[in-house]
Amino acid sequence: DQQVKQNSPSLSVQEGRISILNCDYTNSMFDYFLWYKKYPAEGPTFLISISSIKDKNEDGRFTVFLNKSAKHLSLHIVPSQPGDSAVYFCAASFGSNDYKLSFGAGTTVTVRA
């Protein structure tokens, strides 16, 4: 049973515009959330994280929003750049099992010039 879901398998956005990636989770015990970016044939690269005590975390062009009541988080990339074209994974963990990340299936982002 997949506890972290990314329901949009792909997203196409024009260069300079905002990319919004969504992620839903079912386990209310999750208290730490992360986004990773992955290029083909490479390992995922950590982008940004957020603890459940916050509802927003920003790092440069990347902002993650957390809505605990809706069990939903999103990643905003603005402005989008061609180098942002990759697969983005949402992940979550909790409490004493914080070493165990549950991943979503990923969203492929394509940034058009």
Binding interface with another protein (CB under 8 A): 2, 4, 32, 34, 36, 41-46, 49, 89, 91, 98-101, 103-106
Provide the minimum distance between the beta carbon of 104 and another protein in the complex, in angstroms, as a whole number: 6
Provide the minimum distance between the beta carbon of 78 and another protein in the complex, in angstroms, as a whole number: 22
Nearer to another protein, 44 or 111 (CB): 44
DSSP letter at 82? G
Nearer to another protein, 67 or 97 (CB): 97
DSSP letter at 83? G
Nearer to another protein, 69 or 96 (CB): 96
Query: Assign residue 69 a region: left if phi > 0, alpha if psi is -120 to 50, beta otherwise?
Result: alpha
